[in-house]
Amino acid sequence: MSEADRIAYSLKEVVTLMLRDQGIRSGLWMIAAKFNVSVANIAASETGGPTGPAVVSVLGEVGIQRAPEPGPLTVDASEIWPEQKAKPKSAAAPKKRTRRAVNATKP
């Protein structure tokens, strides 16, 4: 199998991976991102145009946060965990074995 050059996830897949990583099993969650924004004067070097104001945005962190209601980017944590299968009960439960004292004297 060849090594992948690129792996991509949808935003909902990222939320699902983070919920599983953190062991979160309930609630509505959505992607959260923190951007650091700076303003600078930048010259358009490709066109040789004049220097002008520009906004530079850097992704600072990615996380998840609770969502107040369902939406297109929310994931219900209870739906991503496989349901625990109920073990069928046998007709007669096995009796617990108790140890009997050997050479016990009766009063």
Taking a C-beta distance cutoff of 8 angstroms, is the pair 15, 31 a contact? yes
Place of tokens 């991503």: 80
Domain ranges for the chain? 11-66
The per-residue pLDDT string of the chain (107 residues; one tens digit each, 9 = 90 and over) reads 678 899 999 999 999 999 999 999 999 999 999 999 999 998 877 767 788 899 999 999 999 999 999 999 999 999 998 764 444 555 555 555 555 444 545 54
Per DSSP, which regions of the chain are E strands?
28-43, 51-66, 75-76
pTM: 0.64
In sequence order, the 6+-apart residues with CB closer than 8 A to the CB of 25 are: 77, 78, 81
